[in-house]
Amino acid sequence: MPMIPLYLASRSPRRKDLLSQASIRFQVHVPAEPELAAPKNRRKEQPGQIVRRISDAKAEACAAELRASGCTEALILAADTLVFLKEKVLSKPADETEACLMLKRLSGNWHTVATGVTVLAMNGKKSTKKSIHVTTRVKFFPLAKDWIHWYVKTGEPMDKAGAYGAQGYGAALVEKFAGSYTNVVGLPLGETLSLLEKISGHSRSAFQEHK
């Protein structure tokens, strides 16, 4: 049993699934504040810096809400994933037309997926925060027009950065990964567990159901 409850500050079903895959016990607390929009990409800010800045902000927002509700001890896990094509952010598509356009741009090319992960430990009035980022390079198969059309019609692209999900119907779109797979799904799992261990001072087994 962990000494401190773990809160996931994300509504993403993919992140919930990944934590469950590692048998981690957690509660969800999504801060009421809206997710920060992806900022205009500043020249000097790298993908990793952008996603860490956003995951930090999500963790802080969650901590503020938990404190306001009287909670004094908690571990908070926040994450943010963005897709970068030639240094431009591809966010969630606004409609099917934009999803088709994004997929056409990804077709046959390499792109980068970056996830920022922040763990914040609240302990009375003190808090400790640490964040990491993981980047993965992803190469798409060249996609035929009717294949893009089929994929968009599944509805899967609509709530996903870059207009695809590597773990669903989108699995057939990807030719190669260079780096972490779970990072592309939304949470680099091994790195996240190590970060939890480091901040909490507990081994990962303290957070697991299945022992």
Contacts of its own copies in 78-107 (CB under 8 A) = none
Q: Which is nearer to its own copies, 88 or 104 (CB)?
A: 104
* 21 contact partners, CB below 8 Å, separation of at least 6: 189
The token pair at 30 is: 């999504």
CB-CB contact of 164 with 156 (8 Å): yes
Q: How far apart are CA 109 and CA 105, in angstroms?
A: 8
Does 21 help bind its own copies (rule: CB under 8 A)? Answer: yes
Does 154 help bind its own copies (rule: CB under 8 A)? Answer: yes
Neighbouring C-beta atoms of residue 89, cutoff 10 Å = 19
CB-CB contact of 187 with 206 (8 Å): no
Does 202 help bind its own copies (rule: CB under 8 A)? Answer: no
Question: Can you tell me whether residue 197 is helix, strand or coil?
Answer: helix
Does 193 help bind its own copies (rule: CB under 8 A)? Answer: yes
Whether residue 80 lies in the annotated active site:
yes
Does 110 help bind its own copies (rule: CB under 8 A)? Answer: no
Q: Which is nearer to its own copies, 23 or 123 (CB)?
A: 23
Which active-site residues does the annotation give? 80
Binding site for its own copies (CB under 8 A): 18, 21-23, 141, 144, 146-147, 150, 153-154, 166, 168-169, 171-182, 189-190, 193, 203-205, 208, 210-211
